[in-house]
Structure 1
Amino acid sequence: MQERRLKENQTISNEEEIEEKNSEVVEEFLDDEKVRLTAELKEINEKYLRLYAEFENYKKRVNKDKEELIKYGTESLLLELLPVIDNLELALKHASDKISEGLVQGVGITLKELRKTLEKFGLSEIEANGKPFDPLVHHAMNQVERDDVDEKTVVEELRKGYIFRDKVLRPSLVTVSKKPVVSEREEDSEKEIKINKIIEEES
């Protein structure tokens, strides 16, 4: 009987040990699984965040491209129309007496309406004559000596320039002033005149 009890106790003890070991194994497995799943979840989350960021950047790029297209979509058309404006201006400038007055007026009205329409789309003329030379909007074709204006002033506009919204569509072709080169003779004669004036004032 005692032996039987001992065997039963031993069996219970063995079962408890097995159960404890099983419990430890299960716990260890669950811990490993938890670590693995946490790492996997973290990796998936990072991938998701990267993809989300890339998608957001893509959306921003598409929106920016769309805005640029809307804003500057007519740029190439306007660029093609500039020679038409140039030719109409030349026609008016060189209109002779032989051409009927009505035709000249018609060309003038057409040019005026064309300019007005293009202004609605954001096209504006670059101011040039009498303005200081600005390499961002003016393209100097030549220089002339002038003493009646400041140096590097636009004295003649050879071809009109245009700005489309905030972008230079075509720079103005201009002639720019420079200081006259004074020869030694002129310099000497100027000095002589000044000396003569001083002598006259003193006497």
Structure 2
Amino acid sequence: MNTRENGSAEEPVIRDNRKIDPETGEVREAVKEQAGQPAPAADLASVELATQLAERTADLQRLQAEYSNYRKRVERDRSAVKEQAVAGVLAELLPVLDDIGRARDHGELTGGFAKVSESLEAATGKLGLSAFGTKGEPFDPTVHEALLHSYSPDVTEPTCVEILQSGYRIGERVLRPARVAVAEPEESTSNDN
């Protein structure tokens, strides 16, 4: 153990090299004085390392954003493929559903076949298939296909007066338009002299 001339033990020397005073929170005078002096080689190396770190961080953030966008695009594509596959299968089942509807209209849907048809209609409903087209609704060329046309004094606008074949849709997507007979208001004959 080292002792001083007066016989007491030598205490360790502590140098506080912090650039900011922890008590006041201000920059210390020694740091202010060094700010005006040229930077030593060690400081230049640390600046270069900081620049490289910033570049690598920016590259990493860009890659993370690209990956996130890729994941979203793949998920969106999966959803679209699933929708198309379901729509394709349901489109193939539409003639079967038409046959079931005609059998029901003629009273031929009885017994076990009635249960099978109910199960099939329930399954297609769970997949999002819904029928549309009702007698008396206004004609809409985006969802109706006019097969017959006539004039009638009973209507005030082009109206579906008969549903020849139901239309089907999944959500907002029309799989098949409703095939209808359309009646328009009669033309007035007031132009006669």
Q: TM-score, normalised by structure 1?
A: 0.61
**Inter-partner Cα distance in structure 2 for 1:121 and 1:38:** 56
1:92 Cα deviation after fit? 5.8
Letter in 2 for 1:105: T
Match of 2:71 in 1: 59
Measured against aligned partners, the alpha-carbon deviations of 1:69-95 in whole angstroms (never above 9, x if no partner) come to 5566422111110012223444566x6
Aligned length: 156
Q: Match for 1:121 among 124, 127, 137?
A: 127
Structure whose residues are more often helix by fraction: 1
1:156 Cα deviation after fit? 1.6
User: After the TM superposition, which residues 7-22 of structure 1 pair with which residues of structure 2 at under 5 Å, given as runs?
Assistant: none
Q: Match for 2:60 among 41, 45, 48?
A: 48
**Retained in 2: the 8 A contact 1:88–1:111?**
yes
Q: Match for 1:149 among 136, 149, 155?
A: 155
Per the alignment, do residues 49 and 121 of structure 1 end up closer, same or farther by CA in structure 2, a change over 3 Å counting?
A: same
Letter in 2 for 1:163: R
Larger radius of gyration: 1
Per the alignment, do residues 135 and 37 of structure 1 end up closer, same or farther by CA in structure 2, a change over 3 Å counting?
A: farther
Measured against aligned partners, the alpha-carbon deviations of 1:5-48 in whole angstroms (never above 9, x if no partner) come to xxxxxxxxxxxxxxxxxxx9981x33332332222112111111
Match of 1:34 in 2: 46
Q: Match for 1:105 among 102, 110, 118?
A: 110
Letter in 1 for 2:59: K
**Retained in 1: the 8 A contact 2:133–2:163?**
no
Q: TM-score, normalised by structure 2?
A: 0.64
Q: Mind listing any 5+ residue stretches in structure 1 that lack a counterpart?
A: 1-23, 96-100, 189-203
**Inter-partner Cα distance in structure 1 for 2:51 and 2:140:** 61
1:147 Cα deviation after fit? 1.2
Letter in 2 for 1:119: G
**Retained in 1: the 8 A contact 2:154–2:185?**
no
**Inter-partner Cα distance in structure 1 for 2:124 and 2:175:** 13
